[in-house]
Amino acid sequence: MAPSVQSEASSRRGSDAKSDGSASVDSGFASGNTSTANLPLVSFTHAHLKYLNKQLEDMNAMDILRFCRLLFPNLYQTTAFGLTGLVTLDMLDKLYKETPGSKPVDLIFLDTLYHFQETYDLVERVKARYNVDVHLFKPAEVETVAQFEELYGEKLYEVSGELYDWIAKVEPQQRAYAELNVAAVLTGRRRSQGGARGSIPVIEIDEERGIVKINPLVNWSFPQVKAYIDEHKVPYNALLDRGYKSVGDWHSTVPVGEGEDERAGRWKGQNKTECGIHNKKSRYAQFVQAEAQKVTAA
């Protein structure tokens, strides 16, 4: 069974912000609307962001997390319960115990409905181990694989991968950010994972989605992550003991071969390294946006 939904809807980002005509700044944070009523909860100048990243580059992960918990309002951790995310979760739990009256960092989990059963089992073990709320978001208007395939047909992930990514991942993520009024998210991305992740900074601005992304373990290697998991006895996905290193949907994840990159088991044989939630908008997402703009203009 998949974990139950624990999220509650709240107002959209910036909906409570007051309009101030003098607030024209080089925020380093692009917005689809120039009205100051829609400015994000956190903004930086480009120079300030560059300075912060330079300072954070050599800081250890625990101190990065300490800093981010103080700096960012409405901070969440978005996770599919991979090893890096689990390290971050364990560190946050330790930090919360240092200051038990502080605001905890809740989790956002995108349930595509196609996760491995081992992933759902891990979610329950994490909830039992840590005092953390998991906000679960599924594809809109469906609760089961049967309902999903009744709407979109079987194997949509093969028929139209971009459409699948939009329905199962991108739209639920956007809905999560809006309903939870998210300002910033902690991710599990690391440079050692390669591909587009090879040059990411600690803090980056996702201008398309209107949030700040923080990559607290950006400098860690896979062996460092696994060593932390073992040392601190952090619960992890049972698939890791069967040759998997990066775990996503069951239909697009296979074990990693000897000497292969840790994400080599994702979308094997496809010209694809990301699912749409961390990269630029897919053609389908661009189409949806264009259609929405036509309706607004009409």
253, β-bridge pairs:
266
The pLDDT, as a whole number, for residue 19 is 35
The pLDDT, as a whole number, for residue 61 is 97
Q: Is the pLDDT of residue 269 over 60?
A: no
Q: Is the pLDDT of residue 158 over 80?
A: yes
* Strands 211-214 vs 203-206: parallel, antiparallel or unpaired: antiparallel
- Cα distances (angstroms) measured from residue 172 to each of 135, 141, 189: 11, 11, 19
The backbone region for 200, taken as left when phi is positive above 0, alpha when psi lies in -120 to 50, beta otherwise, is beta
The pLDDT, as a whole number, for residue 248 is 84
Amino acid at 4: S
92 φ, ψ to 5°? Answer: -65, -40
pLDDT interval class at 199 (50, 70, 90): confident
Question: Which pTM was predicted?
Answer: 0.78
Give 14's DSSP letter: T
**CB atoms < 10 A from the CB of 232, how many?**
13
Q: At what angle do helices 61-71 and 83-98 cross, to 10 degrees?
A: 70
The pLDDT, as a whole number, for residue 242 is 87
Q: Is the pLDDT of residue 120 over 80?
A: yes
Q: Confirm whether 275 is a catalytic residue.
A: yes
Question: Which residue out of 275, 276, 282, 285 is catalytically annotated?
Answer: 275
